[in-house]
Amino acid sequence: MIKLLSFTTLDVLKKKQVDLINRRAPIFDRNGVVLASNLQTFSAYINPRKIKNLHSFKQRMLKLGYVDINKKLDLNREFIWLFKKLSPDEKKRIETAGISEINFIEENKRILPHGNLFSHVIGHVCEDGIGMSGIEKKYNNLLMSDGGGIKLTIDTRVQHYVRESLINGIKMHSAKSGAGIVIDVNTGELLSIVSYPDFNPSNIKKSDKDKLVNWATYGAYEMGSSFKVLTIASALDSKSISETDIIDASKPLKIGKFTIRDYRGKGSALSVEEVLMYSSNIGTAKIAQSMGKNLQYSYLQKLGLLSNIESNVPYVASPIIGTWSDTRALTTSYGHGIAVSPLHLITAISAVVNGGVLCKPSIIFGESDCSSKVLKKETSLIMRKLMRLAVEKGSVKKADVEGYNVAAKSGTAEKIIDGKYSKDENLVSTVAVFPINEPKYVVLIMIDSPQKNFINKGFRTGGMVAAPVVSEIIRKIAPILNVAPIRKTNKGDAFLQVHQKNSYRFASAKSN
């Protein structure tokens, strides 16, 4: 039986005409897979004043199943909706009943065949077919006028695996939420944007508000130690330090009333490589000191971390940073005291490893913009090596995938609860590049508030929680993206040459 709706009364239209919902253009992924389209539907209405035999009309409506007809029929109205969003078969059934007083108009229902998979990317439309969030809202006018549709950079296959792995990671560590992004390092094209929890865009009324937030783009967070990559790259690029420098990280660093300490480690003189490998806050802060806060600020600007992202991606949060003091500069060097969106971070990391070019992140196919040179190529080559060492010898071993030369950095930041840093809730992340000998893609995973368990051995860090998710994603998507595994590393590759004088004395799986 047709699902019958309650009467909805409308004011009499000025021209006594019923407006049709505009036909929205379809949305496709990069391979032509339909992500959003229209389904032909019909809505039925009557003009009560034109009903000649009211008793007969009511009897026929009751036989059709409309039991509320006696209560709802308002003879003072000239227009009343009977049924909304009928399928062609449902329309035919009503027509077969032979109730001539019922009129039909053709409408279109927005269909999202992949359910929750693209909820935060595509967004949703209201009953009138107007875009209310995501691509549907940002490009509403275009979708209302362009019958050809919009082609996104998103890859449905990659999106599926990122979402699947992210959900597994969140549930495995009893976390609250999470986000995942995959970006083409050389074009800025986004192959995946996932935020979880997500929602059913076809039934938005039943979704909690927290499910509607796109954590991958709309929120700004302290991302923790991943910022060390940016600090060291800036210092090397500006020649404030050299790759062979030794940094004294043997004692906590005091700046005013603030003391910078390392999460783990015995404290020692560290090479620049070891500062990143062992994720030393002290070492990174001293590297920032060597630059000076003004030069450091300048590089953060060039890497796009202090301003809104000029991009076709919907609704990206603005960075949050306080007064640029000496203390702020040092804490920012290791990812505290500055909040950015995950999209900001993955965009900056891409520039570090792709030869020094900042690409604007793009979600619309064919709109890549990689026109900003922000780092020297030589800097990029060194950073590729250092990030690979962080996987081989340092704190983010669990991000590795055999054959794909993954380079990565993890981050762990205490969340701010009621204005104070919480010891009980962390925001953890890992950002990884593969293959590092010829960078093609960057994967970022962020997980909110993981809980201690036997899997993470009580360490709620990016290296223990987010890195395995990154590894799982790379393992799944690399074959799809035609990235072939490398059986044997070419020892002559400059980016993989390691200075043998380093013994890597204090590597710890407990680093963040």
> In this predicted structure, what is the pLDDT of residue 122?
96
Q: How far apart are CA 256 and CA 285, in angstroms?
A: 14
> In this predicted structure, what is the pLDDT of residue 172?
96
Q: How far apart are CA 429 and CA 301, in angstroms?
A: 22
Q: Which domains, ranges and CATH numbers included, belong to the chain?
A: 8-151 (3.90.1310.10), 156-199+215-496 (3.40.710.10)
Residues 6 or more apart whose CB falls under 8 angstroms from that of 215 comprise 177, 178, 179, 195, 196, 342, 446, 448
Q: How many residues are there in the chain?
A: 512
Distances (CA, A) of 480 to 195, 246, 459, 466: 22, 42, 32, 22
CA 274 to chain centre: 31
Question: DSSP letters along 477-504, please?
Answer: HHHHTT----SS--TT-GGG---TT---
- Phi and psi angles of residue 260, each rounded to the nearest 5 degrees, phi first: -100, 125
Tokens matching residue 238: 């500006």
Whose CA is closest to 468, among 77, 47, 178, 37?
Answer: 178
> In this predicted structure, what is the pLDDT of residue 71?
66
> In this predicted structure, what is the pLDDT of residue 72?
67
Q: How far apart are CA 122 and CA 131, in angstroms?
A: 9
Average pLDDT across each block of 10 residues of the chain; the chain has 512 residues. List them in order: 43 35 83 92 86 84 75 76 83 85 84 94 88 95 88 98 98 96 98 96 80 91 96 98 94 88 75 94 96 97 95 94 94 94 98 97 96 96 96 94 96 82 87 96 96 90 96 97 78 43 37 52
Q: How far apart are CA 128 and CA 409, in angstroms?
A: 46
Residue type, 245: D
